[in-house]
Structure 1
Amino acid sequence: MIKIKQNTANKRILQIAIPSIISNITVPLLGLIDVTIVGHLGAPSYIGAIAVGGMLFNIIYWIFGFLRMGTSGMTSQAFGKQDSNEVTRLLIRSVGIGLFLAFCLLLLQYPICKIAFMLIHTTDEVKELAILYFYICIWGAPAMLGLYGFAGWFIGMQNSRFPMYIAITQNIVNIIVSLCLVYLLDMKVAGVATGTLIAQYAGFLMAILLYLRYYKPYKQHITWKEILKKKAMNRFFQVNRDIFFRTLCLVIVTMYFTSAGAAQGEIVLAVNTLLMQLFTLFSYIMDGFAYAGEALAGRYIGAGNQIALHRIVRKLFLWGFGLSLAFTLLYLVGGKAFLGILTNESSVIKEANSYFYWVLAIPLAGFSAFLWDGIFIGVTATRQMLISMFIASACFFGVYYIFHHLLGNHALWLAFLIYLSMRGIVQTYLGRKVIFL
C-alpha cells in the first residue's frame, strides 16, 4: 500500500482546489456580464429581464448538478482502481444522460416557461423580455448538461484545470459575442441571450476537444451493452438520485431563506441579500476544497488505500479550519467596508449592522459541511449525505417557525446557522462510520 507524504498531500489538494476556486469565481461572471451589458441600454426592464431569466436557469441547472457530482465520485474511484474501461463508460453514461435530460427540457420548454412565469410576479414589459431570454437560452441545455458530465469526469480524473480553462473561455466568448450582437446588430436582450448560448456551446465543444486531445488512451471501443449494464446503471442512478434529492433540499432552504426575508420588507430583503454575498464568497473557496475531497477521497477508496484516505481527510479539515478562521477575521476587519462597496443606501447599511455578527459565525459553522459533501461524493456515500441534509433542513424550518415571531429576521439567520452546523455534525457522525472503518 502506497503512503503519501504530508507535503504531497497538501500539494495534491491545492492542485485540484485552486483551479476549482477560480472556476467557481468565474461562474457568476456570465450573469454579471449580461447584466452589465444591458445595464447600459437605457431601460431598467432589460436588467429585470436578465435577472429573472438568469435566476430561472440557475434553479434549473442547480437541480441537475447531480450529473457533475455523481460523475466525479464514481470516476475518481474507477481512476483509483485503474479501471480504464469503467472510466470511459462513466463519461459516456454521464454525458449521454445529460443530453437526454436536456432533450426533455427542450420538449417541455413551453410548460416550464408557463409555470415559471405564473410563479414569478413582475411587470408585463419585464415578463415579455424575460420570456424571450428564456426561449433563446433554453437551447443551451444540451451544452450545459453535457458540460456537467465532462466537468465531473475531469475532476474525477484529478484534473480541475480543464474545467477552469473552459469557464474562462466561456466568459471571453460571452463578452465578445454579446457586445457585438448588442451594439453592432442592436439585438438588445436577444443579443445577450444569444451570446450566452454561443458561449455555452463554445465551452461544450472545448470539453470535447480537450478529451479527444489529452485522453487518447481512454478512447477505446466500448459497446453499448457494456455501457448499459443493469448493475452499473442502477448504481449510477442510485448515486445521482440521492444527490438530486439532497440538492432539492438545498434549493428549498435557499429559496425559502430569500422568500422569508422578502416577506419582512424590502430593507430586510436587501440586507439578507448583501450579507449572503459574504457567505457566497466563502462558499466559492470551500467548494474548491470540496472538489479536492471528491477527487482524492474517491481515488484512494478506489485504490483501497485507507492510510492515504485518512491523511487526505485530516489535511482537508486542517485547511478548512484554517480558512474559516481567516475568513472570520477578514469579515471582522473588512466585512462592513465590503458592504459599503456593494451599496450606498444608508438605511440598508444601518440595518445590516444589526445582523452582521451572524455572518461572522458562518465560516466556522459551515466549513465542515462543505468538506464532508466533497468527501461523501468521492466515496459515493450519497445516502448518508442525503440523510444529513434532510435532518439539517428539518432543523432549519423547525427553528425558524419556533422563533420567528419572537426574533424576526434574527430567527432566520439563527435557523440558517443551525442548518449549516447540523449538516456538519450529522456528516461527522456518519462520516466516521463511512471513512474510518
Structure 2
Amino acid sequence: MTRPPEQSRAALRRHDREIVALALPAFGSLVAEPLFVMVDSAIVGHLGTPQLAGLGVASALLTTAVSVFVFLAYATTAAVSRRVGAGHLAAALRQGIDGIWLALVLGLLVVAFAIPAAPWLVDVFGASGTAAPYATTYLRISALGIPAMLIVLAATGVLRGLQDTRTPLYVAVGGFLANGVLNAVLVYGAGLGIAGSAWGTVIAQCGMALVYLYVVVRGARRHGASLRPDLAGIHNSARAGAPLLVRTLSLRAILMIATAVAARLGDADIAAHQIVLSLWSLLSFALDAIAIAGQAIIGRYLGADDAEGARNVCRRMVHWGIASGVVLGALVVAGRPLYIPLFSGDSVVHDAAFPALLVVALVQPVCGIVYVLDGVLMGAGDGRYLAVAMILTLAVFTPVALLVPVWGGGLTALWGAMALMMVVRMLTLWLRSHSGRWVVTGASR
C-alpha cells in the first residue's frame, strides 16, 4: 500500500531539513580546515622564498599524514550514530571515547617516527638545499600537534554521530582565528620565524582538541559513560577503521598517480593540473558535506531498526547529490574566465586548463552520486566493501592514466581518466546500494 502524497511530501521535507541541518555546518568546518595552511603560507611567505618552499614541503607531509587517518572520523561517526539511533547514548559516547583513545595512541606513534625521521622525509619529498632546513624545523615542531589533530578527527566523528555538526564548525572557525593571531605574533612579534608559525599552529590545534575533549567528557559524565581506556573497545575501533584506511590509501594513490602523470606532460600541463586539482578539492568539500550528513543520518536510522527509513533517506540524498553536482558543474563552466587568471597569467596554462575543467564540470553529477553513496555505506559500517571497491577502482584507473602520455590527449585525457575513475566508483557503489546488503540494522553491525 502506497503512502498518501501528503505524507510522502512531509517525509521528503523532513529528510531535507535533516540533510541541510547537518550538511551546511559540516561544509563550513571542512572549508575552515585548509585555511590553516593558507594563513601559514601568507605569513611565512613574507619571510622569504626558501621559508615558503620549506613550509610547502612540510605541509604536504603533514596533510598526507593526517588524511591517512581520516578514518578516525568516519568510523566513529558510523558507530556512534548507530547507538544513538538505538537509544543507547552512554554506549554511543563510550564508543566515541574508544575512538579518541585510538587517535591518541596513533598520534603518539606518528610523533615518535616523524621527529627523528624529519630530515629524511623532507629529502624524499625533494626539498632543495636552501628549503630543507626550514622544512625540517617546521615538520619537527608541527609533528607535536599530530596527536591533537587526530583527537580532533575522532572527536569530530563523535559529535557527527550525535547529530551535531554545529560544534565542529564553531571549533574550526575558532581554531582558524586563533591560528592566524598566534602565527602573526610568534613569527613577527616574537621573531621566531618559521618556527613561530609551527608553534602557533600546534597551540591552536591543541586548543581545538581540548575544546572537543571538554564537550565529549561532559556528555560522557552526564550519561554515565566511562572515560577509562578499554583495550577491547580500542581494538574494535581500529578493526572498524582498517578497511576505511585501505580505502583512503587507495584514493590517495589515485591522486598521486594523476599528479605524477601530469608532471610528465610538461610544465604547462602540471601547472594547469594544480589549478584543476585545487578546484576539484574545493568541489569535494561541498559534496563531502552531504556525505557527512549521510553517515550520521543513515547510522541513526539503522541503529533504530528502521531499514525502510534508511533506504528512503538514501534515495533522497542521491537526489541531493545529483542536484548539487549539476549546480557545481554549471558554476565551474560559468566561472572559468574569472577564476583561472587568479592562478596564472600564462595563456598556455589557460589553454591546458580550460578543456580539463570542462571534463570536471561534466562529471560533477556523477561525483555527487559517488560522495552520497560513499557516505551512506560508511554510515552503514560497510567498510570492507568500500575498501574492495576502491582497490578495484585503483586497478582500473592506473593503467589508463599511465597510458595517457603514450596515447596523447594531454591534460584533458588525464582528467578523462579521472572521470572514468569516478564512473567506476559510482557503478560499484550503486550496485552495493541497490543490492540492499548494506542495510544491517541494530546498535552494532
Q: Note if 1:411 corresponds to 2:417.
A: no
SS class of match (2:367): helix
Match among 69, 72, 82 for residue 74 of structure 2: 69
The 3 A distance-change label for structure 1 pair 330 and 354 is: closer
Unaligned runs of 5+ in 2: 1-6, 441-445
SS class of match (2:75): helix
TM-score by length of 2: 0.92
Match among 15, 26, 36 for residue 30 of structure 1: 36
Match among 210, 213, 220 for residue 215 of structure 2: 210
Q: Note if 1:5 corresponds to 2:11.
A: yes
How far residue 149 of structure 1 moved from its aligned partner, in angstroms, is 1.1
Q: Note if 1:422 corresponds to 2:427.
A: no
Q: Percent identity?
A: 23
Contact 1:278 1:359 in 2 (8 A): no
Contact 2:302 2:439 in 1 (8 A): no
CA distance in 2, matches of 1:404, 1:366: 25
How far residue 206 of structure 1 moved from its aligned partner, in angstroms, is 1.1
Unaligned runs of 5+ in 1: none
1:305-384 alignment to 2 at 5 Å?
Answer: 305-384=306-385
How far residue 166 of structure 1 moved from its aligned partner, in angstroms, is 1.1
1:139-178 alignment to 2 at 5 Å?
Answer: 139-178=144-183
How far residue 44 of structure 1 moved from its aligned partner, in angstroms, is 0.8
Paired AA for residue 152 in structure 1: G
Q: Note if 1:228 corresponds to 2:216.
A: no
1:89-128 alignment to 2 at 5 Å?
Answer: 89-128=94-133
Per-residue CA deviation, residues 195-244 of structure 1 (Å, 9 max, x unaligned), is 111110110111122234556533434665xx334xx5554333211001
CA distance in 2, matches of 1:404, 1:34: 36
Report the equivalent of 2:142.
137
Q: Decide which moves more: 388-397 or 344-353.
A: 344-353
Q: Decide which moves more: 107-116 or 169-178.
A: 107-116
Report the equivalent of 2:4.
none
1:386-397 alignment to 2 at 5 Å?
Answer: 386-397=387-398
- What CA RMSD, in Å, does the superposition of the two structures yield over aligned residues? 2.0
Per-residue CA deviation, residues 20-74 of structure 1 (Å, 9 max, x unaligned), is 0001111110000000011222x11121111111111000001111111110111
How far residue 84 of structure 1 moved from its aligned partner, in angstroms, is 2.4
Paired AA for residue 15 in structure 1: A
Contact 2:94 2:226 in 1 (8 A): no
Paired AA for residue 185 in structure 1: A
Q: Decide which moves more: 250-259 or 214-223.
A: 214-223
CA distance in 1, matches of 2:351, 2:23: 36
CA distance in 1, matches of 2:228, 2:112: 28
Q: Decide which moves more: 250-259 or 17-26.
A: 250-259
- The alignment of Structure 1 onto Structure 2 pairs a total of residues equal to 431
Contact 1:293 1:374 in 2 (8 A): yes
Report the equivalent of 2:261.
260
How far residue 105 of structure 1 moved from its aligned partner, in angstroms, is 1.5
CA distance in 2, matches of 1:183, 1:223: 42
Per-residue CA deviation, residues 326-376 of structure 1 (Å, 9 max, x unaligned), is 112112211232112222222311332343321222312311211111111
The 3 A distance-change label for structure 1 pair 359 and 216 is: same
Report the equivalent of 2:276.
275
